[in-house]
Structure 1
Amino acid sequence: MKASGIHYYFWMNSDWAYLGADRLEAIAHKHGVPIHYKPVDLPQVYARTGGVLLGQRSPERQAYRIAELQRWCRKLGVHVNPTPRFMCPDATLASTLVIAVNQAGLPVLDLYKAILRAQWCEDQDISDPAQLAQILRAQELDTDYWFPQAAKAKQQYQDHTEEAIAAGVFGSPSYVYQGELFWGQDRLDMLDHAIELHTESV
């Protein structure tokens, strides 16, 4: 992680990443720092860091997740369906598409938010290439070009995952700034403060 800025590790199935997306952008813009977008394979992260996939968690933990989502949705004025029709399918293609577009130097905020919104707000299956093609077209991205590029980005997807684990990441979304890890969109205020303190000290 030699590049300065915010290293943003997130799962393309993360409802919490969707809730934090706009606020992260606002923080980065306020401080003039870049965001390095790094989709990761969260099931692999969990397997190697002691995490438990949602469907395997106790009923109490699953119920509390829904309560927290509802609280944050009310607070932020954002809609999320806690139990969408296609919940947390294989995110490989969605992730590699975002990586490919990002590697080309194009903005990815609207693209990754559209994919997350498709799952958490529109009951769409984001593992379905046809659904992803529709999202790409809505972003004015050529599917005939970007699907082959996504296939070439699989190693980078694994590299992001390895890098995340090395940085101490164990959940999504996670933000690393100046070597300090912040887990969860509910820590964005703390990330904001850390950037402010660092900016003042240099």
Structure 2
Amino acid sequence: MNVRAHIDYYFWLNSDWAYLGADRLEALARRTGVEIRYKPVDLPEVYARTGGVQLGQRSPERQRYRIVELERWCRKLGIYVNPMPKYMCPDAELASRIVIAADELGLPVLELYKAILRAEWCEELDIASEHTLQAILARLGLDGSGVIKLARATETGMLYRRYTDEAVSAGVFGSPSYIFDGELFWGQDRLDMLEDAVRARRPARAG
């Protein structure tokens, strides 16, 4: 059986860096013909198991440099991100489970997870709020009640935990992370290297 080449994409629904890399990852997949498998994770849990430090607990020097780097990348990419939004890094479990549920239902995932990230980093909205998430689903023309019902189901919660466990087992320690053919690429600034790896192991898609 011929299995389509794929990228396992592990990301946090509070990740400003995942937002910056979202469109470029999709463009990479279109150019090379690989499939993206979306796998939202519980990043605080990943940190707890891999020695990571959550942003608010990092040194002032590291926190200041994060803002400098964000500003650089926003200028380079022409994308706006508020480095210190009003509702910064709230509980992302429901948002994550909504993305997983949408994917399980065969709904488009890119615009949904981008809209959730944009709500936090650009629109000063609380993505831990079901009201906010319902509004995003409605704006995208998706069946909010159906998606949220599946998001709250036990099996979706189990899948969320499985993705988190998978990420740790694969060596993931931050978001966004991409696994292709067993090789880990961490950060949206490694997308060019990810594409190099994809092209080295499979022919480019025609057209």
Deviates more, 1:54-63 or 1:150-159: 150-159
Alignment of structure 1 residues 1-202 onto 2, 5 Å: 4-152=5-153, 153-200=156-203
Rounded Cα–Cα distance in structure 2 between residues aligned with 1:74 and 1:143: 34
How many pairs are equivalent?
200
Query: Residue 3 of structure 1: CA displacement?
Result: 7.0
SS in structure 2 of the partner of residue 140 of structure 1: coil
Is the alpha carbon distance of 1:3 and 1:50 closer, same or farther for their aligned partners in structure 2, counting shifts above 3 Å? Answer: farther
Residues in 2 aligned to 1:172 and 1:144: alpha-carbon distance in whole angstroms: 29
Which aligned segments of 4 or more residues in structure 1 are displaced greater than 4 angstroms?
Answer: none
CA–CA distance in 2 between the matches of 1:129 and 1:43?
Answer: 21
RMSD in angstroms over aligned alpha carbons? Answer: 1.2
**Distance across 2 between alignment mates of 1:179 and 1:69:** 29
State TM-score, norm by structure 2: 0.95
Structure 2 unaligned residues grouped into runs of 5+ = none
Give 3-state SS (helix, strand or coil) of 2:95's partner.
helix
% identical aligned pairs? 62
State how far apart, in whole Å, the 2-side matches of 1:196 and 1:104 are: 30
Stretches of structure 1 that go unaligned for 5 or more consecutive residues are none
Counterpart amino acid of 1:188?
L
C-alpha distance in structure 1 between counterparts of 2:122 and 2:82, whole Å: 6
